[in-house]
Amino acid sequence: MSRVLVVEDDADIADLVRLYLQRAGHEVQCLHSGSEALHLMLQSTPDVVVLDRMLPGVDGLEILRLVRTTPELKGIPILMLTARAAEAERIQGLEVGADDYVTKPFSAKELVARVAALLRRTSAAASGGPQQRYGPILLDLDRHLVTNEGQEVRLTAKEFLLLQYFLEHRGRLLSREVLLTNVWGYTYTGGTRTVDVHIRRLREKLPLLGEAIETVKQFGYRLRNLEERP
């Protein structure tokens, strides 16, 4: 049974999300403030967090930043809820480290499906094999850990899965739609811009990928084989 933490200050929405997630077989805990959620996560790490962006006190975006910079929490998959439909708001959340985004009003069934997809992808990454290497970059799939020249690099769950997919398909031309389907899942409807955002973050965190991930105009991306690198 997966443990899901729901952080939502609207009691009605929190109760609805709890009900549907429990029906899907998850253990669910609801909290109404970001500070409470951060304290709980430090004591007992959930398998996935559903996090409202607009919270009293410390808002959801700041909680997301804190989670992504805390070593023992950084790998938790986080799905953000927001009442703001603007693309810039979603992009900001993804840049900070959200793995998925749902805009209110939303379908509770769709939210449950997105949570399930996050859990499946995280589980697959953890059990897919021991290690994958690209030059000095090493993915430890058992520990969900990335190192570059022996130094740990902090990636979000979605960044990790995206890098893993590139390594498993190195040399192949991959469209944004293919990446969305295989990394974000069939239920993702947020548009292909999120692929560009996550690839930019990978390039920033792992400079080798700046030259290794080739941008193919009007199509997508390709991870060059090591011998092809300029």
Q: Is the pLDDT of residue 6 over 90?
A: yes
What are 57-110's pLDDT values in tens digits? 888 999 999 998 887 788 788 999 987 666 677 777 877 888 888 888 888 888
> Is-above-0.75 flag for pTM?
no
Determine the pLDDT at residue 21.
96
Question: Is the previous residue joined to 105 through a cis bond, with omega within 30 degrees of 0?
Answer: yes
At residue 96, φ and ψ (nearest 5 deg) are -70, -30
Q: What is the pLDDT of residues 115-137, one digit of tens each?
A: 988 887 666 555 555 788 888 99
- pLDDT of 189 over the 80 cut: no
User: What tens digit of pLDDT does each residue of 133-159 get?
Assistant: 888 999 988 778 899 988 999 998 889
What is the rounded distance in angstroms from the CA atom of residue 127 to the CA atom of residue 140?
Answer: 10
Q: Which domains does the chain have, with CATH numbers?
A: 3-123 (3.40.50.2300), 128-228 (1.10.10.10)
